[in-house]
Amino acid sequence: MMTNGTFIAVASLYFVQALLIVVQNFFGPRTLLFGVAIPPDEAQDPAVRRIRVQYAIVMGIFVLVVAAACFLWIRHRDAAHALVYVLIALFLLFPLSGIAVAICRQSALRLNAIRDWQVPVDNRRVASISNRRHRAPAFGLPWFGAHLAVIAVCVVIAIAKWGDIPDYFAIHRYADRMPDWYRWYSTKSLSSVFYENFGQLIVTGLFMLLNLLNGRARTSLDPADPEGSLQKQIRYKRIHSSTIWGISLAATVFLGLFQAGRLYSIQFDLWIHLAFPLMLTADLLLLGMFVYLRVRGLDQQRDAPSQGDRYWRTMGMIYSNPEDPAIIVPKRYGIGWTVNMARPMGRLTIATIAGVFIVLLVWTWLLTE
């Protein structure tokens, strides 16, 4: 049964993550209303603002419904199982956010039909950043050597202390050092001892891919200020890259600590003391990043070649343009990037990211079985 403290931690994690998903759609170019181009002087129009508020209301309803179902289910379960169900609930919020976006996009299209907005075409040029002439827009792969070093240290320690690891040990314990339930034990084997190292490799690989996509995203220059717009987009990508690197390193270290606590009997419960605070800290860092980008005006970058409505499918959420050689392009609203689904590498990228998330979820689920 979950303690009150654990329940509060799980609830906090869920609602902070939900807040992060909701507020992201309030960032990005102000001249785009859920993918519909609007004149700059109407960005603060009351009707436009009502549509943005509509998204928050719809998502708020989704968040509360999923929360009620999830927390009624996990209220009398242990912390480890609670984490799995919370992860499922969090993943569910992403397709629900897509539904909310589609609803609000229809409202934006109706408003556009009434107002008959005429937005001039943006003729900014497209350019690729050369790392030889400019500061690299994202951390290079050698930066992730820190993650691999942490994994290597964990593996070396496990090998060196192999003889000291019990032949039969509990996978997870309560704060009083008693196991969650008596069947939740594991015999010593290569898979059980190095279980967390596999998870570290999954996490590191996923964030390396996200960082690579961040660095390879196309850059559009403003003819009126090409150097200034270039430097802004370099800063934009560097901020994303540093956030990705920091969060992934913290997750890798946590899994190493969890492995040590499981195998070497460290005297505190890492799920309770570190897992939820780590996730909350990551979400708060992301929220802080969004606010910083907005304050600095760095979230107002646009990619002119990918703005045509005819290239955006599924209610304007999926970009598909076979004539565009770019694989990674900025999202039309919110912060971040999306892929060109008309390109084979774009489809492969999406399949890879989805596959890693599924493997991570299965890995977490197996930990509780």
Q: Output the six-digit token pair for 315.
A: 């209610």
Q: How far lies 360's CA from each of 127, 138, 236, 363, in Å?
A: 36, 25, 28, 5
Phi and psi based region of residue 297 (left: phi greater than 0; alpha: psi -120 to 50; beta: remaining): left
pLDDT in tens, the chain (369 residues): 555 555 666 677 778 778 878 887 777 777 778 878 788 788 788 998 899 899 999 999 999 999 888 878 877 666 556 667 777 888 888 889 888 988 988 898 899 888 887 766 555 555 544 444 455 677 888 899 999 999 999 999 989 888 887 777 665 554 444 444 444 456 777 777 888 888 889 889 888 888 888 887 777 777 777 777 788 888 888 888 888 898 889 889 888 887 887 777 665 555 556 666 777 777 777 778 878 887 777 776 666 666 666 777 776 678 888 887 778 877 776 677 788 888 888 888 888 877 777 776 676 566 555
**Spatial distance between the Cα atoms of 217 and 208, rounded to a whole number of angstroms:** 14
Q: Quote the CA–CA distance of 221 and 227 in Å, as a whole number.
A: 8
Q: What angle do CA 296, 302, 307 make, to 5 degrees?
A: 155
Cα–Cα distance, 100 to 152 (Å, whole number): 44
At which residue do the structure tokens 């003889």 appear? Answer: 163
**Closest listed residue to residue 307, CA positions, set 168, 173, 119:** 119
Q: In this structure, are residues 168 and 224 in contact, taking their beta carbons and an 8 Å threshold?
A: no
What are the strands, taking DSSP E only, across the chain? 32-33, 36-37, 125-127, 168-170, 185-187, 219-221, 312-313, 318-319, 328-330, 337-339
